[in-house]
């Protein structure tokens, strides 16, 4: 029986051949394939302006810089996400203000306004596992308080809210194309944005602060980073984007099978919702009730040749954020998720029989 990882990228032979062509071309850094990838991604998002990056983390950090967020500012963000989300807030000198998540595992919008202070400059929500935040309500809150919105859509390429793709509307929206995401560029990301006047600043922040006039004379007027995508990565992205919708449809079918086959009573299955692209399938398992630790559960699943991930521990319990004054008990729902969450296999190359095998293994281990 083959080992079933919790995720695996799907790279077709045409894309592999295309990468070989790029390698033979001699143009490996940012070039024609990056331009083509950005253009196609823009088309996919309804014509929105799009810039590619070496990572979604870089895109988020640059988005904060574009908004002139820095020392003394505060950014509201969920207490349960990958650490990249609050890390970039701290890297620009601002303070992450955590808010608990609700049953969807997205930012609890009922609690956001209580966290807004005179120092708040932006809200950074996360569309967890591909399930969109209530964007209408989110943007209504932001507008009422004069705040920017930087959406961490690392999990949400192809997700839709009220029939509109995440990233086709809104303020600034960051995507991830890491190998475990719904599409990949090996490593990489992108930023979709609404304001055309911010394009030039984005370009400078993405590449050393450099600008050039019509004669090609170079100037540097801000300390930019280096986040430009390579043509090799972009060629992978071109092939992936063509198949993204079919990848996401397969994920939905596999998740439907998870719900049909699940037999382990007492667990909390993820929230379902319109426009969900199911980057992950992450049930909550009350390990104490079943008399088993999470590490033991993962070990026993591994013995059955099934991979399991953990996405994610509660952020405020990490040492870095405890130094900001956060403590256990601050965000009970995030902490419960952090204790009980496991990520089970879900990727387009799986078949329904694989889902059945996982559900059976979970029941056996927990019983």
Which residues form the catalytic set? 181
The answer to whether residues 341 and 311 touch, using CB atoms and an 8 Å cutoff, is yes
> How remote is the C-alpha of 52 from its chain's centroid?
15
Tokens (6 digits) for 305: 């040749």
Three-state SS at 239: helix
Maximum Cα–Cα distance across the chain = 72
Residue at token pair 């944005």 = 193
Q: Which residues contact 306 (CB under 8 A, 6 or more apart)?
A: 3, 4, 344, 345, 357, 358, 361
* Cβ–Cβ under 8 Å, residues 122 and 170: no
Q: Is 231 helix (H, G, I), strand (E, B) or coil?
A: helix
Nearest to 81 by CA among 190, 174, 183, 192: 174
Parallel, antiparallel, or unpaired: how do β-strands 95-99 and 74-78 relate? parallel
Using the structure block, give the residue that is written with the tokens 């990848």: 247
Distance CA 367, CA 365 (A): 6
């Amino acid at each position: 029986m083959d080992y079933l990882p919790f995720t695996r990228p799907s790279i077709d032979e045409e894309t592999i051949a295309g990468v070989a062509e790029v390698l033979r071309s001699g143009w490996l850094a940012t070039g024609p394939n990056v331009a083509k990838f950005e253009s196609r991604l823009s088309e996919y998002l309804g014509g929105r302006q799009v810039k590619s990056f070496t990572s979604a983390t870089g895109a988020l950090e640059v988005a904060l810089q574009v908004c002139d967020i820095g020392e003394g500012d505060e950014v509201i963000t969920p207490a349960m996400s990958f650490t990249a989300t609050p890390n970039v807030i701290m890297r620009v000198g601002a303070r992450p203000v955590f808010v608990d998540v609700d049953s969807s595992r997205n930012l609890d919008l009922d609690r956001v306004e209580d966290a807004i202070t005179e120092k708040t400059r932006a809200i950074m929500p996360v569309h967890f596992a591909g399930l969109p935040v209530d964007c209408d309500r989110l943007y209504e809150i932001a507008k009422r308080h004069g705040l920017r919105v930087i959406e961490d859509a690392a999990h949400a390429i192809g997700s839709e809210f009220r029939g509109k793709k995440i990233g086709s509307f809104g303020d600034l929206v960051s995507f991830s194309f890491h190998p475990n995401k719904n599409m990949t560029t090996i490593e990489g990301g992108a930023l979709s944005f609404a304001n055309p006047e911010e394009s030039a600043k984005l370009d400078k922040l993405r590449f050393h602060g450099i600008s050039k006039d019509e004669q090609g004379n170079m100037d540097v007027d801000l300390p930019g980073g280096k986040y430009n995508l390579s043509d090799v990565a972009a060629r992978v992205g071109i092939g992936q984007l063509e198949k993204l919708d079919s990848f996401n449809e397969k994920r939905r079918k596999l998740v439907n099978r998870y719900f049909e086959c699940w037999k382990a009573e007492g667990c909390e299955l993820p929230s379902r919702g319109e426009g969900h692209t199911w980057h992950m399938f992450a049930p909550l398992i009350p390990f104490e009730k079943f008399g088993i630790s999470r590490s033991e559960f993962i070990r026993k699943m591994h013995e059955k040749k099934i991979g399991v991930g953990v996405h994610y521990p509660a952020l405020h319990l990490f040492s870095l954020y405890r130094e900001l004054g956060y403590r256990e008990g601050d965000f009970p729902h995030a902490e419960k998720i952090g204790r009980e969450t496991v990520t089970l296999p879900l990727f387009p190359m799986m078949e329904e029989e694989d889902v059945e095998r996982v559900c059976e293994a979970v029941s056996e281990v927990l019983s």
